[in-house]
Each structure stands twice: as C-alpha cells, then as structure tokens.
Chain A
C-alpha cells in the first residue's frame, strides 16, 4: 500500500432534516412573525424576552405575559461575515447581529444587510425586511436593514 499514495476524494453531505415541535410559546411567536409582528414574553422581573421562553430562566415559573415589541431595534453587537456560505441568509457579505428590538430586554440574533462593516455600530438602528411569502420560521424576516437606508 505504501506505493499507492493517490487516494480517493469526493464530496460528502451529512444532513439531519430535523422538524422541531414548537410548543405553545414559540408557536405563538412564529405565528405572529408570519403576520409581521414581533412578540416577546415578560419574565418574573418584568424583563421582556425575545425570542420568548416558556419558563422564567431564573425561577422556572411559567411565563404568560405577552408584550408586542419592535419591529425596529438597535444593534447590541455583531460579527461580520465576509464570505457567506451557501446556506447562510444572504449571498453577499453581511453581519450576524444581536438586535435588541424596541421594548425588549434580550437581544435576537439575525442578519443585517449593511453592505460594509464600516456602516455598523453599537446602537445603530435597524428595521426588519419581511419575506414576500412568509413560510413560518425565522426566515420570514429576510434580514434587518439599517434604518433610513
């Protein structure tokens, strides 16, 4: 075998097409998102969580107080993606950003189509770009745009 260095090489795909049941809270979140509305849920300290959670992260108590939030928000932090991969939300350089929607106390992770990294800053205002045909999922928001762009 020592004189057979030319080894085979080929493309490989490993994929698990999981379908995830949402439960009552995320079901409402995604149903609202389809209708172009963001909703958060208030935890026991009065902080608004987006995406919402079923239980209080500190006490484990059931959360039930729904609060409309957004649709605009501000960038808390971001990471610039200079070479997007095939399945990422945009086919041109973009930012993955933590976005605190208006009225929310926890940030939501989404893509920001800023064109270049220089245009981004902490606290920059963003607004959602809605999908033409919502399908029920986080991609019903195509991405966020810098406000006034």
Chain B
C-alpha cells in the first residue's frame, strides 16, 4: 500500500434530491409538451408572451395567466459551444446550446442544436424543434429532442437586437 501512487484529488459531490412542484404556470407548459405544443403565457393582449411561463410578468409582476401557444420554430439569439461532458446529456461533444426566440414568444428558449456544423451556428439562424416520437412524448422538456436548422434565410440582427 505504501508504495502506491499518492492521492492527488478527491471527489466531493454536492447533491440535492427533492420533489419539484411545477406550479400552475409550468404545469400548463409541461402538459403542452406532452401534446407536442409549446405554451407560453402573457398578462393580457399585446403583452409579451413568456416561454416557459413563469406565472407573472417579471417587468410588472402582473399575473400572466393567459395561455398562448407559440410556434416550434424560431431564431437563434445566442449560443454556446459545449465541450465539457455532462452525465445526463447524451449529445456527442462538442455541441451547441442555443437560445431560441420562438415565433410568437418574447423571450428566448434554451435547448440543444443538432444537424448543423458548429462553424455554421450563428445568431439569426432559423431553427425548428425536433420532437421525439409521439409515443415518447411526456410532460418534460425532453419531449423536444433538439433544435435543427430549417434552411430559411437568416433574420437580420437589427430585428433581434432586443433579444441578444
């Protein structure tokens, strides 16, 4: 034992195990995903649609109780290249995480991008959600497998300025 390699590092995990109660707003959103729909909410007509819904409009604290379905297509407003493995993410490294401004939504929606060379990932790129097979749909964000390019022309940066 004494001639074995010295110990140079120890693993010290931090772990929290708990039950998550989604609340009304997130429940609405998660139930939508199980029906292949992305549902946001707003505080009233003309008000920004928040996706995922958070129960209240963060600018005004007004109740955002009106459910609004948004499209499963959108525009990349920012992205990050991931090179560090994560236990629960099955995508091959490196891959891109994208913040997608879904059509009809006022804020970005975070997911993984696939089927696009990393050097082609860019702000303004049009993308679409790739859903899992219908029999795999659940009340979870994993009902969307990833986003992928649609091939449509880019959205000019000027139109995204507020969201980048």
Contacts and interface: CB of A to CB of B under 8 A. Distances in A.
Interface residues of A, number: 33
A16 B28 contact: no
B1 interface: yes
Given A16-B14, A19-B10, A30-B7, A7 B23 contact: yes
A17 B13 contact: yes
Interface string A8-48: 11111111111111100001101100110000000000000
A9 B16 contact: no
A26 B40 CA distance: 51
A15 B16 contact: yes
By secondary structure, the B interface counts as mixed
Interface string B1-39: 110101111111111111111111111101100000000
Interface of B: 1-2, 4, 6-28, 30-31, 65, 67, 87, 139
Contacts of A8: 21-22, 26-27, 30-31, 139
Contacts, number: 96
A12 B20 contact: yes
Contacts of B2: 35
B11 A19 contact: yes
A87 interface: yes
Given A4-B24, A10-B19, A17-B87, A137 B10 contact: yes
A130 B11 CA distance: 19
A27 B24 contact: no
Nearest to A28: B6
A87 B12 CA distance: 12
B2 to A, nearest CB: 6
